[in-house]
Amino acid sequence: MMQRHGIGVDAPEVVTAGREFAVIVLGVSSPAEIVVRIVEVDSGRRFFVAPVRRTGVAELTAGVRLDAPGLFRIEVSDGRYPVERLLLVVPDAEE
């Protein structure tokens, strides 16, 4: 888990393309304050993700699915302090 100034992000380091995974945002007082973005590192293409449900007193969980393999950066911000985490999306071995 990466945490800075009270905001944290917990997510897997490696996921399979096309399969949903959770991004957990910790230390938040209001979902309206949080912006979650997924950025493809090579192209800079951004995918915006909204935290979809509160799962604890100071915790939000967003379901995310990325369809293409690659290296991505998860960015979580409350407008003041961004927290980032790298994510590797690998091809589905069943395809």
- Structural domain boundaries in the chain: 2-90
Alpha-carbon distances of 11 from 15, 28, 94, 95, rounded to whole Å: 10, 16, 23, 24
Q: Which parts of the chain register pLDDT below 50?
A: 3
Instruction: Say if domain 2-90 classifies as CATH 3.90.1170.50.
Output: no
pLDDT reported for residue 1: 54
C-alpha separations of 72 from 9, 59, 87, 94 in Å: 14, 22, 5, 22
Helices (H) and strands (E) in the chain, counts: 0, 10
